[in-house]
Amino acid sequence: MLDEPELRKLVNGFKGSVMFPIVAVAAFTGARRNKILALRWADLDGAGKKLRIERSIKKVKKQPLGLKGPKRD
């Protein structure tokens, strides 16, 4: 587990990379890959500083990628 300075160093290492947004969201939310990749701009409330995880990418053998609702714990 990374402490806060290590986490910031990791994320800052990706600045300028196309991977930066994905790494930043993963690092600071703990969300998993398929949930991050299914995010839409409408899921972000910049004024309220909230991000809703509403869907996930699903893969079924020999079928195109699709979307599904995330598991609720």
CB neighbours of 27 closer than 8 A, spacing ≥ 6? 7, 10, 11
User: Do 17 and 44 fall into the same domain?
Assistant: no
The whole-angstrom separation of Cα 3 and Cα 7 is: 6
The per-residue pLDDT for 72 is 66
Q: Does residue 43 sit in the same domain as residue 25? A: no
Q: Could you tell me if 44 and 71 lie in one domain?
A: yes
- Residue 11 is predicted with a pLDDT of 94
What pLDDT, on the 0 to 100 scale, is given for residue 23? 93
Nearest to 67 by CA among 44, 39, 46: 39
Q: Which residue range forms the structural domain that includes residue 13?
A: 1-30
Are 1 and 23 in the same domain?
yes
Pairing assessment for the beta strands 56-58 and 66-68 based on DSSP bridges: antiparallel
Per residue of the chain (73 residues), give pLDDT as tens.
889 899 999 999 999 999 999 999 999 889 999 999 999 999 999 999 999 999 998 888 888 888 888 676 5
Residue 37: CB partners within 8 Å, gap ≥ 6? 22, 57
**Domain count within the chain:** 2
Token pair 């079924």 in the structure block, residue = 60
